[in-house]
Structure 1
Amino acid sequence: MIQVAQILFILSILVILHEFGHYLTAKMFKVKVEKFYLFMDAGFSVVKKKIGETEWGIGWLPLGGYVKLAGMIDESMDTEQLKQEPQPWEFRAKPAWQRLIIMLGGIIVNVLLAWGIFTVLYTTYGQKYISTEVVQKNGLMFGDAGLNAGFKNGDKIVSVDGKLQDRFNRMTLDVLLGNEIIVERDGKLETIILTDEHKKDILGLEGKQFMMPRLMDVQIDSVIPDASLNKAGILPNDKIVSLNNQPIVYFDELKTALDQNKGENITLGIVRDNQPINVDVVVGKDATLGFIPKFADLSDSQVVNKLSFGQALKAGIDESYQLIVYNIKQFKLILSPKTEAYKQVKSPIGIARMLPDTWNWEFIWSFTALFSIGLAFMNILPIPGLDGGHALFTIAEMITGKKLSEKTMGYVQTVGMIILLTLMVLTFGKDIYELIADKLIK
């Protein structure tokens, strides 16, 4: 329930402020705003009240929101007004440059919101990130998809497309969005070219977990009931130091040794309460022992820079710009069919499942800023039905001096809405299926 509450809170803030951007610019140019809705009121409203010329309300369907402007063909598909002569207070009666500003109002507010949130966060909690240098002290370890792409356990990433990312939080994303990765391996520099096929395997099999800090001291966090370790009397906090008398220093070394001993009896060297113990166990046919390791605590690798207000203003702009760049790169990745990155796109249901199950204001505001930039980018795409689609036609009108007929605009809006609704159905359907599947498996 906390995850649901968080996503509804975040969506409500973003939708209200996005639509307020349209509302404010419309009122600035004296356009009549007939409706202002949080969420969609398809069929009926949860709450509604008319104040002045505007009906304010909350819809039942949490899929965005809208402002209905007099004299505009929008998602409401209300064309009755357009049969009459244009009135001075209607959207269609305004010059193209004013209509363009109104269309971009929500996007501008989303960017400004992110900037403002980052500024406040950096002056209160500080600018935080995980240091790449510290995390890579012992190198990195990779999943099977990463190893198949050419990485080797112990590699240290030197650059991605010629640039070093000092924030490990974003290193994985840089690698997935990049092409040429330079790594340091055994004191030498090696080049790895990441193809779309490699990215497809990484995204489909392991995601962001394909690359992690290399764990030293293989320590057991918990043992799965009925696992061979459980039967052998292995306890949480035990440390595995050898396998068949071969030293084990890193977790990936243990994985490799287990792959070589599937279904076999092995002897583990264990340290418990500083005392060495040998135990005999059976490796599963899937090359596992049935335990969950203690993963590295990255808090020691965290850098916290408390910024002054002036510094935070600049850092907030820089952060917002970087997130826009990341959105562009991710969109290019999604549009590449070979990567199958489109399968990773999530609806609010999928996003909610990724949120923590505790209420943390720092995380919530950080995520809101991140989501706000994503919403701004999505809306500026030149797709009919989105703000970017309206803006594109308006810019074309400003250049050519010719305006699309209202009938044509109606057709374009209809096509755009069909495309958007189809994408929403597919995305929501995928996330609902995964949710049900996970529940059934459990």
Structure 2
Amino acid sequence: METFLIKALQLILSLSILVIIHELGHFMFARIFKIKVEKFYLFFNPWFTPFKFKPKNSDTEYGIGWLPLGGYVKIAGMMDESMDKEQLAQPPQPWEFRTKPAWQRLLVMVGGVLFNFILAMFIFSMMLFAWGDTYLPLKNAKQGMAFSESVKAGGFQDKDIMVSADGEEFQMRGGILDMNMLMKFIDADAVVVERDGKLVTIHPPVGFADNVIASRQQPYDFWKSPVIDSVLSNSEASRIGLKPGDSITSLDGTNITSFNKLQSMVGKMGSELKGDEKRPVSISFSRDGEIQTVTAMVDTAAIIGINARAFSPFTKENIQTDNYSFFTSFPAGVELGVGTLKAYVTQSRFIFTKEGAKSVSGFGGIGKMFPAEWDWQTFWTMTAFLSIVLAFMNILPIPMLDGGHIMFLLYEVITRRKPNEKFQEYAQTVGMVLLLGLLVVANGNDIVKAIFG
């Protein structure tokens, strides 16, 4: 329960910061152009409002709603999520959104996305200033990597040491920021690896990135020897007589070259089972130079009960830390923010597929990304990443989102005439249905994963 509360508090605080900054972007541009902002709310407030106040001589009511699904600013004379048709039926006023030039209205709508992206870059900059940039150059991981089958189909082999992608050195940071390097890897035209002491350049085939993403498997991990280090008591491995020092050579006739592959295959077998189902699997291993074969039973937990030798390449000798002054942290933070945005945009193309839809997460999935113990460095990393996600999702040309409004405004700028108001009203309704549907799918996925794993 304590772990859940810590994760939930981090999620709520992070989203609250992002929502306030996003809405502040709209608010600031509106006030610059002397547009009246009637409400500024954190969270939504259908039916009743737990907290609100209106400063003296201010046109804006500030408040906190009870439904923590976002927030909003209500801008006078604008067709938004409030669907306030009565106001729009009144004669236009000079302080209203609809009476301002198209370029001003465009900046008001872009403001939220712009502020979210600026926030992400600022957070990254301050993190680099406070903690520096600590990473592992993967060329220092001399045991090499283990690759998924989809990556091996592109020409990679287990125990390859990753050196560079399109001339950029492979660097592992841990957590969400590894997504940057991962996307550069799968989209690279040329990847250099060290194989048997020699540098080898691999040119992945056409469609490599799509195949890797569609496989839904971790593309690479540190290679682990298939030699058993320990056996859990009262486990399936103990029952069938496996011992420390045994080297797994095959699983159901498939050659095993790493502990990673063994885990992947057993995990896949378990995921295909339901309820109390069990599946027999043939395990061959080498002991004292002799090959032996036993049969294990795999269930939905997909745990045989053996461990590989524990190791970590993140040693003092292997890792590197780059420190930044206050002023040098800003260009580095901008570069990190832009790189994270590019990586997320590249990855997002998978969302609009059948398999991608299954992987979309709601608030539960996002909450799990935060650590079980409060850690400010991880919290700010996640907040910066989510700020970029929020900016990107909001710029999509979907009615009800900022991108939908921007789409109509661009149409007006290009054609010099406003879109039909009735059409915009219908589009807003369709956009609302789409977003509610996405909300149901995302949070429905979280519920299914929680129940069935």
Match of 2:8 among 4, 9, 19: 4
Change (3 A) 1:216 1:308: farther
- 3-state DSSP class of the match of 1:80? helix
Q: How far apart, CA to CA, are the structure 2 residues paired with 1:221 and 1:363?
A: 32
Q: What CA distance in whole angstroms lies between the structure 2 residues aligned with 1:241 and 1:341?
A: 39
- Matched-pair identity in %: 38
- The question of 1:290 aligning with 2:328 is answered no
Change in 2 beyond 3 A, CA 1:47/1:268: farther
CA gap 1:224/1:35 in 2 versus in 1, 3 angstroms: farther
**Equivalence map 1:61-80=2 (5 Å):** 61-80=67-86
Q: Within 2, Cα distance between the matches of 1:369 and 1:29?
A: 29
* Paired residue secondary structure (1:138): coil
Specify which of 136, 144, 158 is matched with residue 139 of structure 1: 144
SS at match of 1:39: strand
Contact 2:138–2:163 under 8 Å retained in 1: no
Whether contact under 8 Å (2:284, 2:293) holds in the other structure is: yes
Separation of aligned partners in 2, 1:330 and 1:265 = 38
1:272 alignment partner in structure 2: none
Which residue matches 1:316? 333
**Residue identity in the other structure for 1:29:** F
Q: State the Cα deviation string for residues 11-63 of structure 1 (Å, max 9, x = none).
A: 01100111111111112222111111112223333433333332222223222
What one-letter code is carried by the residue in structure 1 that aligns with 2:146? M
What are the residue-to-residue correspondences of 1:147-226 with 2, within 5 Å? 147=152, 151-157=156-162, 160=165, 162-168=166-172, 169=178, 170-177=180-187, 183-186=193-196, 187=198, 188-193=200-205, 194-195=207-208, 198-199=211-212, 201-203=214-216, 206=217, 209-216=218-225, 218=227, 220=229, 223=232, 225-226=234-235
Instruction: Output aligned runs, 1:22-421, within 5 Å.
Output: 22-51=26-55, 52-135=58-141, 137-147=142-152, 151-157=156-162, 160=165, 162-168=166-172, 169=178, 170-177=180-187, 183-186=193-196, 187=198, 188-193=200-205, 194-195=207-208, 198-199=211-212, 201-203=214-216, 206=217, 209-216=218-225, 218=227, 220=229, 223=232, 225-229=234-238, 240=245, 242=247, 251=259, 262-263=281-282, 268=287, 282=294, 284-286=296-298, 289-293=304-308, 295-300=310-315, 301-335=318-352, 337=353, 340-421=355-436
Please identify, of 376-385 and 37-46, the stretch whose mean Cα deviation from structure 2 is larger: 37-46
Q: Distance in 2 between matches of 1:211 and 1:297?
A: 15
Tell me the distance in 1 between the aligned counterparts of 2:349 and 2:248: 45
CA contact 1:381–1:388 (8 Å) conserved in 2? yes
Unmatched runs of 5 consecutive residues or more in structure 1: 270-277
What TM-score do you get using the length of structure 1 for normalisation? 0.82
CA distance in 2, matches of 1:132, 1:31: 53
Q: What code does the residue aligned with 2:232 have?
A: V
Provide the rounded CA distance (Å) in 2 between the counterparts of 1:142 and 1:289.
22
CA distance in 2 between counterparts of 1:262 and 1:229 reads 15
Deviations along 1:399-429, one digit per CA (max 9) or x if unpaired, are 2211123322212211222212211111111
Q: 1:14 aligns to what?
A: 18
Distance change in 2, residues 1:122/1:42 (3 Å): same
After superposition, the Cα gap between the structure-2 partners of 1:148 and 1:43, relative to the gap in structure 1 and judged at 3 Å, is farther
Deviation at 1:146, TM superposition (A): 4.2
Instruction: Give the AA of the match of 1:331.
Output: S
Residues 6, 219 of structure 1: alpha-carbon distance in 2 compared, 3 angstrom cutoff: farther
CA–CA separation in structure 2 for the residues paired with 1:379 and 1:39: 17
Q: Partner residue of 2:272?
A: none
User: Residues 147-195 of structure 1, C-alpha deviation per residue, up to 9 Å, x if partnerless?
Assistant: 46654312334554x3444223344333445577565544454444254
